[in-house]
A and B are shown apart, each in its own frame.
Chain A
Amino acid sequence: MSEEVKIIDKEKIPSGATMLFGFPDVGLVGVIAASHIISELNLTEVAYMDSKLLPPLIVLHEGLPHSPIRIFGNGNILLAVSETAIPADVIYPIVNALINWGRSKNAKMMISLSGIPTQDRQDIQELKVFAAASNQEILKMVKEKGMEILNEGYMVGPQAIMLQYCAQIGLPALTLLAQCFLNYPDPEAAAEVLKELAKIMEIKLDVSKLLEKGEEIRLRARDVMKRTQQELSKMKKTQEYDIPLYVS
């Protein structure tokens, strides 16, 4: 593991789990979804990140300090979540360290939860969820589950780095992207991504509470969204709207 980024285990980590990622990105889809998984599946903190690459910040919960990037888990699931926007220039070492850590715990698959910005989001009744994968077998598996594939286009942000690095090291990985607002917290999109995740992992995940708390989440998430926007603009996130120039 890189010296710049350390991941400290708090308890014994189960082997062979599926590792999920919920990082601040468009619509905060990943973070909202991750937060719901933690409460719905009663996940507990199993590890946390310690890195001088991150801003000098801790998160206080019930008066005690916590790292902004933590890993929660139970027997089958590990979930990496960030409670603060990750600076654009440190995304590579942060994501790579998490993947290396997951690999050292024999994680069988990595799945990142995120969104894809859609200009007419306000008018879309039924949100689509797209998938992109690190290899053909995973693509085949998600197609069989009836999911649409993100065939061509650009992907920017932590999930892009995750897919690329996993493909490089031969670790199965999948990214689920729900249509969402670019700059507004989108609990409905988070619910859609969770429904697809439940299908893929064959688990029960009730999203009704998440939808009920939609307005509260939108109000609470304003500040994290605002800071995420700043980082997204540094990453040139709007490139995801661009038409790719296919070079064969």
Chain B
Amino acid sequence: MSNRKKRSIFEIISEYFESLEEMTEQLEERLLERPSWNKKTCTIEPLRNMMITPTEVIVTVDLPYTKENAIHVKPLDKNTIEISANMSRKICFDDFGMTHYEGEFQKLHCRTRIPVAVDINNMKVRFKRGILEVRLPRKHEYTIPIE
């Protein structure tokens, strides 16, 4: 006879979520394992973050060596924005003491997919202290009536 203890449904669900979380972390790590620069397009990928609040999505991007008039924020579809910014100086690997790579970069570039529905045409953009902030109002496509 098996000695295995019968698990409750809560334990099974909790284990399922734990393994799902672990898989997501592993996937994230794998996706992040690539250079933060692209020699072909001569671009550097800037650091970025996203915060989802009940009313809006706030995307921030760190854009060093950039002036406000050199930044372009472009919607690619209803959930994706493309951010590019020309830097005020050319950056070479040599500048960082790395002589085993070649390449010159003068642009910061990234694409960000927003995981919730947003009104992309009404985004607001500001640039302060070298950080670009894009605010996108959330679209609430349905509401659950309270009985």
Asked if A and B are interacting partners, one says yes
Q: Is the interface of B mostly helix, strand, loop or mixed?
A: mixed
| Interface residues in A, total, Cβ within 8 A | 20
**Roughly how many angstroms separate A122 CA and B63 CA in the complex, as a whole number?**
13
Q: Does A183 contact B (CB under 8 A)?
A: yes
B110 to chain A, nearest CB (A): 11
Find out whether the CB atom of A226 lies under 8 angstroms from the CB atom of B47: yes
Given A122-B131, A183-B49, A226-B47: A218 in contact with B62 (beta carbons within 8 A): yes
Q: Is the interface of A mostly helix, strand, loop or mixed?
A: helix
Task: Mark out the residues of chain A between 198 and 241 whose CB falls within 8 Å of any chain B CB in the assembled complex.
Answer: 214-216, 218-220, 222-223, 225-226, 230, 234
Find out whether the CB atom of B64 lies under 8 angstroms from the CB atom of A122: no
B-side contacts of A220, CB under 8 Å: 96
Find out whether the CB atom of A219 lies under 8 angstroms from the CB atom of B91: yes
A-side contacts of B62, CB under 8 Å: 181, 184-185, 218, 222
Given A184-B131, A218-B64: A226 in contact with B32 (beta carbons within 8 A): yes
Find out whether the CB atom of B64 lies under 8 angstroms from the CB atom of A215: yes
Find out whether the CB atom of B47 lies under 8 angstroms from the CB atom of A184: yes
Find out whether the CB atom of B128 lies under 8 angstroms from the CB atom of A122: yes
Q: Does A123 contact B (CB under 8 A)?
A: yes
Given A122-B131, A183-B49, A219-B91: A230 in contact with B32 (beta carbons within 8 A): yes
Find out whether the CB atom of B36 lies under 8 angstroms from the CB atom of A226: yes
Number of CB contacts from chain A to chain B under 8 A? 46
**Roughly how many angstroms separate A181 CA and B133 CA in the complex, as a whole number?**
13
Q: Does B103 contact A (CB under 8 A)?
A: no
B114 to chain A, nearest CB (A): 18
B-side contacts of A223, CB under 8 Å: 36
Q: Contact flags (1/0) for B17-57 with A, using CB distance below 8 Å?
A: 00000000100110010001000000011110100000000
Could you name 24 residue pairs across A and B whose Cβ atoms are closer than 8 Å?
Answer: A122-B128, A122-B133, A123-B128, A181-B62, A183-B47, A184-B47, A184-B60, A184-B62, A185-B62, A214-B64, A215-B65, A216-B64, A218-B62, A218-B64, A219-B44, A219-B91, A220-B96, A222-B36, A222-B44, A222-B45, A222-B46, A222-B47, A226-B32, A230-B32
Q: Which 10 A-B pairs have the closest CB atoms?
A: A218-B64, A215-B64, A184-B62, A219-B64, A122-B128, A215-B65, A183-B49, A122-B129, A222-B47, A122-B131
Assuming A215-B65, A218-B62, A226-B36, what are 4 further A-B pairs, CB within 8 angstroms?
A: A185-B47, A215-B64, A219-B44, A219-B64
